Amino acid sequence: MKQILQNLSTGQSELVEAPAPQTRNGSLLIDTTISLISTGTERMLVDFGKSGLIAKARSQPEKVRQVLDKVATDGLMTTVDAVRSKLGQPLPLGYCNVGVVRECRADGFVQGDRVVSNGPHADVVSVPKNLCARIPDDVSDEAASFTVVASIGLQGIRLANPTLGEAFVVTGVGLIGLLTVQMLRAQGCRVLAIDFDAAKLELARSFGAETCNPGTGEDPVALGMAFSRGQGVDGVIITASTKSSDPVSQAARMCRKRGRIVLVGVTGLELNRADFYEKELSFQVSCSYGPGRYDPAYEDQGHDYPISFVRWTEQRNFDAVLDMLASGVLDVTPLISHRVPFEEAPKAYELLSTDKTALGILLSYSHSVDPRHVRSVALSDQPVEALGKAVVGFIGAGNYASRMLIPAFKSAGVRLKSIASAGGTNAVITGRSSGFETATSDAEGLLADPSINTVAIATRHNSHAKFAIDALKSGKHVFVEKPLALTAGELENVKAAHSESGKLLMVGFNRRFAPQIQTMKRLLETVRSPKSFMMVMNAGAIPAEHWTQDPLVGGGRIIGEACHYIDLMRFLAGAPIVSVQARRMGDADAEAVTEDKAVITLGFEDGSFGTIHYLANGGASFPKERVEVFAASRTLQLDNFLKLKGFNWPGFKKQNLWRQDKGQTACAAAFVNAIEEGGAAPIAASELFEVAQVTIDVAESLRAQT
């Protein structure tokens, strides 16, 4: 397939060839016919990309604060690397897609349906069913492409709750604003449109609105009061995109008492309390297409809200817009300013910068359908010498894989053969920048490739055990980014597959390979008496609905992340774990069930013991990780993998680093060296299984504390 990506560092848009995405459960695979460029939202993204680093920082002050916190805790160079990596990740563009269902793994749709979805600008898209709607027969593909963007305005209208005969103002009549004008008129409202663009105001007049152009000296507040016959308007819907707070301030001053203001666009929010206090105004920010937006249970898992409790969801808003298009209430023909073949999409994005009058830019996908559905794409035609090397296939191309794991394997000198991701696009983005030979959306094909002798797994946690088992049964050496398994049953199946395969199995417990941890290990090996450990992970809060918190997907944060410290303590103790205790904070309330505020106590065969404090309620500017060891009247203290201090330790005082090193590179190198040299696994399989089982036991213990 082909897809449009934008580079956030430069603002440049490009059309890339990528493997066609997989059809997931609850989703539709769609062959695109038309997609609409949302000139407001997508112009903002393009302009952001083309701006300099200082301008980017000024436009996102909250991100600057996060960066400064990271500098304080992780160091300057680590933070610089993270920012560069983030800006270097191309961004898929678009969310207004129309096409024909090719494959269906969701109820309510069938193959051949014409559908609208919030899919990106790509000739093949895979979209969950609740973000799709069937197009009526009498609505053209071109008209239907406005459905998603119109739903943004419709949701703003629903929040404003206009009634027949009320006077409403629409501030900013770009694409969403002009659609909002039409829908308010259909609601029986009188409408005043405000904008600086005379051509757009002319369109608003053709839809039945009165107009105001501040650029010609007209006063929006005075006109608003006159428009409302001196009473003040009933409501204002702001669909403008500006850094200024004027639209909100003007809206407050032109509203009647207890008027309603809804922000659909993006503006400054420096508000005058008196404007709102004296009139008891309502101010609300609208969230995209409607209820369900950004709710994983609704969007990703397909769980609908009961219509008796939530009348209008994202999908129902889509249906409502399509009905208005079918009845003629919405007329989008005047809003189409350009039609561009999809193959010339980068030119369409140049229009966003050069033609500020552009409204609806349609991309047409008239090229053949079947050639779009390739599952593998060549990224390089240069042959690579593989004799004696580890030939690696990666399954998973997410943030951690692209930023940490793949560079670590690359530095070990492996042959990067193929990289797989379910959507295909991430495989191309990461594979191209990292030097892979092919990108694919076919993980099974990757596992069946006889030239690949090593598989690295960096997918969501609930697929780790399955892919590890399949890879071992395919005769591959396996590196699994933690965790190895989410349940005891999965773990037993991995053990059996490993035992039968005779191949190396490795889990990405990189911290034990960090240079400062290696120093601690050497020092502790001289101590024969038991040791006590205190470890703190200031993990930071993650929303309860995030996939890592889901026991069935991410396994929860204990299994997903605290396993690192269980392994680290096991490594430093150098003895098997013989006892486990755990306690989480609070009772079984909404905050506690996330299992991310807990203390774990481990006892070891040699008499050593230690506690792990895994906490999500600490300050962001406090160091994320701290390790302290007390033994033989001596102490070691490691602060965030930057500063290691020895107290009363003969011959050792400190080991400080300029840049954080948590051992990712050394971990991958040890694994690759064992493959290529025929040595033992860097971590004994028995130890991997022990740590995995202890971690599962801890998680189960915490969940039982009701």
* DSSP secondary structure letter of residue 37: E
Q: Does 352 lie in the same domain as 333?
A: yes
The pLDDT of residue 56 is: 41
Q: Are residues 503 and 518 in the same domain?
A: no
Q: Can you say how many angstroms the Cα of residue 502 is from the centroid of all Cα atoms in its chain? A: 37
Only one residue has tokens 């407001």, namely: 40
- Going by pLDDT thresholds of 50, 70 and 90, the confidence category of residue 49 is low
Checking if the pLDDT of 15 tops 80, the result is yes
Same domain, 416 and 384: yes
Please report, as a single letter, which amino acid is at residue 689: F
- The average pLDDT across 557-563 equals 96
Alpha-carbon separation of residue 558 from 505, 625, 661, 701, 703 (angstroms): 22, 15, 22, 11, 11
Mean pLDDT to the nearest integer, 671-692: 96
- Read off the tokens for 543: 């929303």
Task: Determine the number of helices (DSSP H) and then strands (DSSP E) in the chain.
Answer: 25, 31
pLDDT for 518 beyond 60: yes
Are 222 and 132 found together in one domain? no
Residue 370 in any domain: the answer is no
Residues 80 and 131 in one domain: yes
Q: Tell me what pLDDT residue 78 has.
A: 56
Q: What is the mean pLDDT of the chain?
A: 91
290 located within any domain: no
Residue 598 has pLDDT above 60, yes or no: yes
Q: Given 253, 285, 317, which residue is the final one in a domain? A: 285
Q: Is the model more confident about 7 or about 201?
A: 201
Which of the four pLDDT bands, split at 50, 70 and 90, describes residue 346?
confident
Q: What is the pTM of this model?
A: 0.87
* Per-residue pLDDT band at 537 (split at 50, 70, 90): very high
Residue 357: pLDDT band with limits 50, 70, 90:
confident
Instruction: Assess whether 380 and 426 both reside in one domain.
Output: yes
Please indicate whether residue 395 or residue 241 has the higher confidence score (pLDDT). Answer: 395
Pick from 86-90, 306-310, 571-575, 583-587: least confident = 86-90
* Residue 622 domain flag: yes
pLDDT band per the 50, 70, 90 thresholds, residue 123 = very high
Closest CA to 26 of 87, 103, 104, 106: 106
Residue 489 shares a structural domain with residue 629: no
Is 44 a residue whose pLDDT tops 70?
A: no
Q: Is the pLDDT of residue 399 over 80?
A: yes
Q: What is the predicted pLDDT for the residue at 356?
A: 76
What is the arithmetic mean of pLDDT over 303-324? Answer: 97
Same domain membership, residue 655 and residue 517: yes
Residue 392 in domain: yes
Residues 153 and 237 in one domain: yes
Q: How many domains does the chain have?
A: 4
Q: What is the percentage of the chain residues whose pLDDT exceeds 70?
A: 91
Cα–Cα dist 40/389, whole Å: 50
Does the pLDDT at position 458 exceed 80?
Answer: yes
Q: Average pLDDT for residues 319-331, to the nearest whole number?
A: 97
Look at residue 171 and tell me if it is in a domain. yes
More confident residue, 430 or 53: 430
In the prediction, which pLDDT does 60 show? 55
CATH number, domain containing residue 314: 3.90.180.10
CATH number of the domain that 558 lies in?
A: 3.30.360.10
Pair 27, 116 in one domain = yes
pLDDT(89) > 80: no
User: 143 — phi, psi (to 5°)?
Assistant: -65, -40
Split at pLDDT 50, 70, 90, the class of 347 is confident
Q: Whole-angstrom Cα distance, residue 63 to residue 81?
A: 15
The domain boundary residue, chosen from 464, 492, 508? 508
For every residue of 631-689, DSSP letters joined together read ETTEEEEEETTTEEEEES-TT--EEE-SS---SHHHHHHHHHHHHHHT---SS-HHHHH
pLDDT of 169 > 50? The answer is yes
Confidence category of residue 353, pLDDT binned at 50, 70, 90:
confident
Q: How confident is the model at residue 79 (pLDDT cuts 50, 70, 90)?
A: low
Mean pLDDT of 59-87: 55
Lowest mean pLDDT among 95-99, 294-298, 406-410: 294-298
Instruction: Write the DSSP symbol of residue 358.
Output: -
* 431 contacts 374 by C-beta, under 8 angstroms: no
Say what the pLDDT of residue 582 is.
96
415 and 561 fall within a common domain: no
- Average pLDDT in the 418-422 region? 96
**131 is a domain residue:** yes
pLDDT digit string, tens, across residues 363-387: 999 999 999 999 999 998 766 666 6
Beta bridge mates, 604: 577
Decide which of 448, 482, 508 is a domain's last residue.
Answer: 508
Judge if 269 and 307 occupy the same domain. no
Domain range enclosing 115: 2-146+295-365
- Residue 74, pLDDT > 80, answer no
**CATH code where residue 276 lies:** 3.40.50.720
Classify residue 371: in a domain, yes or no. Answer: no
